[in-house]
């Protein structure tokens, strides 16, 4: 659990409270927090007597609405320094776009060059930057640390919880698998599911009904031809190609679905059949995937989810949508007893939106990064409105978001996370901006795959380069297509160009909607034109 840096041992936080507990909303209440234990001690109306032990505790008026901290079930954090990609065409399945020259030049190459080849210099800055990006959108827990060839778990033990290494005895860790289950692995994978609480698996990512994407689901069938490697621990990420038949098999096995509509729509023109999934009773969570083809953060993904719902006849209420990123997400992880609601005895992970006006659920979905009043993790306020955050701590790093005076209180390093010691966000921004501007120089100097490795246009030379560490991990047969075969190949250093650091927020990214509107015609107009209206 993140350490408590504030001297305030116990406090109350006043505001409207959206508990996500059986629809209970307190119009004016107080969340009493024991910062020493990191737990919520009580949740009650403002005029109720203070709980025992809190008689002398200050009650701080947030002047806003208090929600459970947002839980993101899918992201690729290491790539979230990169801007939205102009997707060159609509793809059928995920084995295609990683071979495109623009992807190799603008996404994989830059990420590897800074994050792996020059990790000693840039990895701490990447960690600080992507963590700040989460906090600025109210995300208190996120997923997306598993990368083959490099251990990012210890490097990401910072302020935001990560589901693969949550750092709290109340939270069982989840495991993630990016590559598909391979032929003949179904029995072993089923045994893994039986022995774990949550396994997040990229599954059947592609256009609806695509044969290649569906074949990855078929690999879950056991050798007897009847049973499947599906169990309650399975959380299927994307699942965009799945038909009702496959979704029913997931339901029968007690599995769940992690939905990333923005990225699916940009890459494939379709997304998961959440209408059928919802009708079947599948539990659904939400993930923004990554900034190159998805939302900048989970607030943005909630907006896409709402637009999709509205375009398809109102599949979800606003309360349902908020649940995808709070209560339901916690349940999928096996964290339902500890997180996802504002409730006594649960961990004090909270987000405050700076208004009490309007419907409380719409309030969150329609908010932007400039509306975040406070983010609390384990009882420790980590980010928010400067005037509010300084009520808890004097150690602040000021930041301006949408013209609003905000601030961070980053936890300093612990023995588990020495990589981000004393690194200010401003220093991280400056370092990454400079690094991305000097990519051709850095790629040439790289000793690893970024400069010396081949980025296959149609495959690399047989027996050639070592695969890049910082790339999405797919099947071995797809990996081989990158680096071997008779096709042409290039080295990243020969095609490297400077790129821009992705701005931390949508509200401070003047080019964001321009980049979004320029996406190809397969991106639906209701998303292309509807998203700006929610900002």
Domain encompassing residue 372:
10-68+340-393
Mark which of 373, 393, 413 sits at the end of a domain. Answer: 393
- Does residue 500 lie in a domain region? no
Amino acid 418: pLDDT: 55
pTM value is 0.92
Q: Is residue 494 one of the residues assigned to a domain?
A: no
| Nearest to 62, CA basis, from 340, 321, 374 | 374
What is the token pair recorded at 12?
């109350």
Indicate the Cα dihedral angle 141, 147, 151, 156, nearest 10°.
-20
Same domain, 317 and 389: no
Q: 490 in a domain, yes or no? A: no
Higher pLDDT pick, 235 / 484: 235
Q: Look at residue 452 and tell me if it is in a domain.
A: no
The verdict on 173 and 27 lying in the same domain is no
pLDDT at 156: 55
Please tell me which residue, 446 or 101, carries the higher pLDDT value. 101
Nearest CA to 480 out of 462, 498, 494, 495 is that of 462
Report the CATH number that the domain containing residue 319 is assigned in CATH. 3.20.20.140
- Taking alpha carbons only, the member of 120, 140, 164 closest to residue 376 is 140
Q: What is the pLDDT of residue 255?
A: 98
One domain, residues 178 and 297: yes
What does the alpha-carbon distance between residue 163 and residue 320 come to, in Å, rounded to a whole number? 22
Contacts of 377 (CB under 8 A, 6+ apart): 2, 69, 140, 159, 160, 161, 349
Residues 178 and 303 in one domain: yes
- 57 and 169 share a domain? no
Provide the CATH number for the domain around residue 370. 2.30.40.10
Shared domain check, 46 and 26: yes
pLDDT at residue 34 tops 70: yes
**Count of residues in the chain:** 535
Q: How many domains does the chain have?
A: 2
- Which residue carries 């056991």 as its tokens? 222
What does the pLDDT read at residue 177?
Answer: 82
Burial status of residue 281 (CB atoms within 10 A of its CB: 0-12, 13-18, 19 or more): exposed
Residue 29 domain-assigned (yes or no): yes
Assigned domain for 502 exists: no
With CA atoms as reference, report the closest residue to 66 among 399, 397, 367. Answer: 367
Say whether both 89 and 229 belong to one domain. yes
Residue 332 φ/ψ, nearest 5 degrees: -60, -40
What confidence tens digit (pLDDT) does each residue in 293-313 have? 999 999 999 999 999 999 999
Contact 14, 28 (CB under 8 A): yes
* Position 31 confidence tier, pLDDT thresholds 50, 70, 90: very high
Provide the 10 A C-beta neighbour count for residue 88.
12
Residue 113 Cα distances to 116, 452, 461, angstroms: 6, 10, 21
Give yes or no for a contact between 355 and 65, defined as CB atoms under 8 angstroms apart. yes
- pLDDT bin (cut points 50, 70, 90) of residue 124 is confident
């Amino acid at each position: 659990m993140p350490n408590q840096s504030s001297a305030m041992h116990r406090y109350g936080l006043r505001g409207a409270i959206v508990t996500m507990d059986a629809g209970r909303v307190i119009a004016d209440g107080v969340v009493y927090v024991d910062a020493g234990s990191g737990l919520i001690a009580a949740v009650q109306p403002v005029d109720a007597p203070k709980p025992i032990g809190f008689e002398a505790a200050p009650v701080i008026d947030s002047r806003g609405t208090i929600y459970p901290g947002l839980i993101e079930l899918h992201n690729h954090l290491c790539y979230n320094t990169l801007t939205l990609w102009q997707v060159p065409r609509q793809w059928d399945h995920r084995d295609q776009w990683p071979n495109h020259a623009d992807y190799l030049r603008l996404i994989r190459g830059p990420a590897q060059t800074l994050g792996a080849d020059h990790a000693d210099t840039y990895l701490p800055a990447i960690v600080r930057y992507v963590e700040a990006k989460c906090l600025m959108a109210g995300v208190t827990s996120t997923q997306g640390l598993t990368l083959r060839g490099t251990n990012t778990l210890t490097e990401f033990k910072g302020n935001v919880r990560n589901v693969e290494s949550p750092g709290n005895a109340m939270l069982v860790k989840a495991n993630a698998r990016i590559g598909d289950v391979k032929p003949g692995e179904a029995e072993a994978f089923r045994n893994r599911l039986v022995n774990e609480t949550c396994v997040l698996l990229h599954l059947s990512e592609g256009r609806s009904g695509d044969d290649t994407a569906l074949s990855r689901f078929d690999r879950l069938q056991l050798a007897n031809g009847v049973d499947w490697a599906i169990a309650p621990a399975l959380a299927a990420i994307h699942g965009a190609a799945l038909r009702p038949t496959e979704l029913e098999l997931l339901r029968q096995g007690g599995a769940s679905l992690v939905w990333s509509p923005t990225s699916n729509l940009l890459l494939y023109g379709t997304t998961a059949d959440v209408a059928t999934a919802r009708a079947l009773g599948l539990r659904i969570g939400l993930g923004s995937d990554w900034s190159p083809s998805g939302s900048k953060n989970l607030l943005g993904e909630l907006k896409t989810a709402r637009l999709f719902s509205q375009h398809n006849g109102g599949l979800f209420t606003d309360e349902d949508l908020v649940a995808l990123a709070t209560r339901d997400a916690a349940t999928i992880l096996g964290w339902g007893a500890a997180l996802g609601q504002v409730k006594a005895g649960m961990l004090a992970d909270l987000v405050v939106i700076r208004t009490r006006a309007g419907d409380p659920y719409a309030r969150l979905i329609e908010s932007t990064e400039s509306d975040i009043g406070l983010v609390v993790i384990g009882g420790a306020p980590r980010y928010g409105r400067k005037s509010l955050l300084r009520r808890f701590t004097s150690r602040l790093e000021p930041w301006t978001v949408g013209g609003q005076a905000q601030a961070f209180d980053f936890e300093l390093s612990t023995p588990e996370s020495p990589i981000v010691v004393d690194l200010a966000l401003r220093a991280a921004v400056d370092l990454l901006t400079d690094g991305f501007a000097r990519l051709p120089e850095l790629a040439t100097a790289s000793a690893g795959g970024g400069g010396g490795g081949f980025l296959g246009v149609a495959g690399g030379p047989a027996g050639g380069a070592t695969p890049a560490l910082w790339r999405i991990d797919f099947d071995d047969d797809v990996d081989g297509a990158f680096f071997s075969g008779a096709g042409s190949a290039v080295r990243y250093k020969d095609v490297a160009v400077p790129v821009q650091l992705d701005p931390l927020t949508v509200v401070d990214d003047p080019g964001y909607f321009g980049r979004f509107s320029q996406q190809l015609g397969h991106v639906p107009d209701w998303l292309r034109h509807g998203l700006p209206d929610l900002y």
